[in-house]
Amino acid sequence: MANNFYRFKFSMAFMLIIISTLVIGCKSGGKGDKEPVFDVDMEEIDEALFDNINQAKQIFYSMPSPLETAMLVKSAGAPYNEDLLNSTENTGNYTTQRSMALNLGIYTCDLSFASLYDQTQTSISYMAAAKKMADGLGILDAISEETLERLEENVNNREMIMDIVSETFMNSSSYLQENNRQALSSIVLVGGWVEGLYLATKLVDKDSFEGNKLVTRIIDQKLSLNIVMKMLEGQKSDPAVVDILNDMNQLKAIYEKISVTTSAITTSKDEETQVTTLKSETKNNFTPELFAELSAKVESLRESYIL
């Protein structure tokens, strides 16, 4: 009788473990289960675009990587200014997971920025700073000693350097995602994105505001901010994410004052190059006053991240 009782208890415990595992497993895939609201501030937006969102098994919000962010600043014609980068001497200040994740993104953006302008020695220093952050986060082998050596061996090969930067970033973010540390992975991306926005706002030539490509890039970040918000909202259970989400809300309040309208997109394919062009036009009401307000907010957020 006692034996049967213990056998029953044992079976119940086993069933509970399996059920709990299934429940946790289902929740951890959670991103795809939530119904996101895709809010782009454009004319004639048709919310019906998202009608079928629940059919998708997995939903990704893809933020610009620190590499892409730096490239957007450079391709807009911004000059190089090393004084704006987060000093590598600050690495010792970052002792929490949150600050290390933010500054992994920030240093990776700075590293990409320096690499794009062929600042090889600076690139090596910033790769070492990014390595310290990755090591601190326990990201094994994302940036190894061998990576630093490869960087040094290829100082005159920008393409190879960009490839190394991209690979190390992919190693870091995939390691965090695979180890169920998605919140930290998102924080890394936010760090890189805010750094790019900071560099862009600092490098704008205020005397040629109209038609300035860098200004256009800053306005464009309104679109990426939507994705930042959606990505962070999916990870609100992490206290570090809640803080950063509040920061992003402050940024959003300013971006909401900027109205962007776009015409319908038409496509045209070049048969020779096989490249399709998406043709459309946008208009906005961005003013130097709004720019000043946005720049000040970005600077204060970035200041709080680099400590």
Name the DSSP class of 294: H
x/- mask, other proteins, residues 26-55, rule CB under 8 A, reads: ----------x-x-x-x-xxx-xx---x-x
Return the number of other C-beta atoms located less than 10 Å from residue 113's C-beta: 29
Q: State the binding string over 89-128 for other proteins (x if CB under 8 A, else -).
A: ---------------------------x------------
Interaction of residue 8 with other proteins, rule CB under 8 A: no
Q: Which range in 138-146, 158-166, 194-202, 235-243 contacts other proteins by CB under 8 A? A: 158-166
User: Can you tell me the distance from the alpha carbon of 139 to that of 171, in angstroms, rounded to the nearest whole number?
Assistant: 8
Rounded CA separation 196/301 (Å): 12
Instruction: Dig out the tokens for 251 from the structure.
Output: 């940024």
Rounded-to-integer distance, Cα 252 and Cα 128, Å: 33
Q: Which is nearer to other proteins, 218 or 244 (CB)?
A: 218
Is residue 75 a contact point for other proteins (CB under 8 A)? yes
Contacts with other proteins, 213-252, as mask; x by CB under 8 A: x--xx--x--xx-xx--x----------------------
Residue 307 binds other proteins (CB under 8 A)? no
Q: How far is CA 215 from CA 42, 101, 196, 253, 288, in A?
A: 18, 28, 13, 18, 10
Min dist. Cβ of residue 77 to other proteins (A)? 10
Site string for other proteins, 131-150 (x = CB under 8 A): --------------------
Closest CA to 199 of 71, 63, 61, 65: 71
Q: Report, in Å, the least distance between residue 15 CB and other proteins.
A: 11
Contact map string, positions 257 to 276, toward other proteins, x by CB under 8 A: -----x-xx-x-----xxxx
CA dihedral 111, 114, 120, 126 (to 10 degrees): -30
Per the DSSP assignment, residues forming a β-bridge with 284 are: 260
Amino acid at 201: T
Toward other proteins, which CB reaches closer, 60 or 296?
Answer: 60
- Residue 124 Cα distances to 16, 86, 128, 144, 234, angstroms: 52, 14, 6, 13, 35
- Count the site residues for other proteins by CB under 8 A: 70
Among 16, 17, 37, 292, binds other proteins (CB under 8 A): 17
With beta carbons less than 8 A apart as the criterion, state whether 195 and 110 touch: yes
Contact 257, 222 (CB under 8 A): no
The distance from CA 185 to its chain's CA centroid, rounded to whole angstroms, is 8
Binding site for other proteins (CB under 8 A): 14, 17-18, 21, 25, 36, 38, 40, 42, 44-46, 48-49, 53, 55-68, 71-72, 74-75, 116, 158-159, 162-163, 165-167, 169-170, 173-174, 177-178, 213, 216-217, 220, 223-224, 226-227, 230, 262, 264-265, 267, 273-282
